[in-house]
Amino acid sequence: GDDERLRALLASPCDALLLFPDDSAISVEEFVARREARRRERAEGSEIDGGAAGGDAAARREGALAADSTPREADASSGDGRVPIIIVVVDSTWQPARKMAHHLDSLGLSLPHVKLETELVSVYARTQTQIGRICTVEAIGLLLQQLGEDPEVFASLIEYIQHNNHALANVQANGNRPLWEEGPDDGDPAWYFGPKTKRAEARV
């Protein structure tokens, strides 16, 4: 199931986080600091292993066999101890998102919760206007930017949200025209809002 796939993914050498702003959450800055500390530890471990490998041939062979039978995190990282970042995101309204976050915690994955500190106001077409209350796509883009990604990545994600806002406005202006029938291949981003519109029509 999904839990097993997530476990398998996180079993590889990585620095993983759960993007979820609860009371236990740390800042992106603290996550980056912890990541750098772990990187140094891995790099130092690789150097120690490399120095030990300078012994006799028998010791080197034994070390190689041990490494094959028990893979180490440092072995799968780059030479300087860097490993990929894996970001786990729960995408829902607040209460269901809390339940999903609690479920992930119950799996014993040891995912640090990370929160964003921002004064942005969401551009997503909804009634939310409070500072810092941003949608999932905005949160992912902002997190990537704070982790060092090109700001253009965040800008592109915001542009997609604005395209969808425009499409949703067209749906509403045209009396809930069934745009979902056109599908994503027709170049109309409003296909995303089709199921929502269809459910609304079913209730009329």
Give the other-Cβ count within 10 Å of 74's Cβ: 21
Helix (H, G, I), strand (E, B) or coil at 85: strand
Per-residue pLDDT of the chain (204 residues; tens, 9 = 90+): 899 999 999 999 999 999 999 999 999 999 999 999 999 998 888 666 555 544 544 444 344 334 333 333 434 556 688 999 999 999 988 899 999 999 999 999 989 999 998 888 788 876 666 777 888 999 999 999 999 999 999 888 888 888 878 777 776 666 655 554 555 454 444 444 444 444 444 554
Helix (H, G, I), strand (E, B) or coil at 108: coil
Please give the Cα distance from 59 to 153 (Å, whole number). 49
Residue 204: its pLDDT value, please?
A: 46
Burial class from Cβ neighbours inside 10 Å (0-12, 13-18, 19+) for residue 128 reads: exposed
- Can you read off the two tokens belonging to residue 131? 């500072």
Please give the Cα distance from 198 to 176 (Å, whole number). 8
For residue 179, the one-letter residue type is L
Please give the Cα distance from 23 to 5 (Å, whole number). 27
Please give the Cα distance from 116 to 99 (Å, whole number). 20
